[in-house]
Every structure is written in C-alpha cells, then in structure tokens.
Amino acid sequence: MPKITWKVSPTEEITAEVKTGITLMEAAVSNNVPRVIGECGGNMACATCHVVVSNECYDLVGEPNDIEDDMLDFTEAERTQNSRLSCQIRVTDELNGLVLTVLDY
C-alpha cells in the first residue's frame, strides 16, 4: 500500500499506508488528519478537502481540471500554486511517498 504523508504543522506530520482506489480526502479523514473534512463527500462542492502538494510530488498528481480550479477559489486557507482538492485525487501505487501540507486557516 502506498505511504502518504500529511504535514499538519511545522513540527507535526501524519504518515499512513493507504488503500489504493480511495481518494486522498477519504484517506485523510480515516486517518484523522486535522482540517481535512470532506464535508460534501467528494462532490467538489465544499473545498474542505484542500491540500497543498509538495513541489517534488506535484507531477504525480497533475493539474486540477477547470471545475476543481474554480472551487479552489473557495478554500478556507488561501490557495497556493500547488493546491488541490484531495477528493479529486485517487490513491494509486504511483503516489507512494506523496507529501501533502494541510494549511492552517
């Protein structure tokens, strides 16, 4: 199972082995990652699953589509260049080692 890391503060991170096929939002919620809520259940209607993908890993997940790009304007913490909605990224073996940051509000 691929290992995913969420940086949740400058000094704290959560690393978990995650099943393939689920979304990174579902993986975060099931691992109690703070501030990844997934309020709309992955329907791209809430932006509460906002994460920032590390520069080194961004090519693995790629760019958001136009709808996701629009929704990223509604994140609680201001979006960055590498922001993604984690409900739109499915876990695959290729994502092993992925590092995400969960911004503070």
Q: Contact positions toward ligand FES, by CB under 6 A? A: 25, 38-40, 42, 44-49, 85, 87
Q: How far is the CB of 36 from ligand FES (least distance, A)?
A: 9
CA pair distance 36, 10, nearest whole angstrom = 17
What lies within 8 Å, CB to CB, of 26 at 6+ separation is: 38, 42, 87
Whichever of 39 and 73 has its CB closer to ligand FES, that residue is 39
Whichever of 25 and 91 has its CB closer to ligand FES, that residue is 25
Beta-carbon neighbour count of residue 12 at 10 Å? 9
Q: Which residue is nearest to ligand FES (CB)?
A: 87
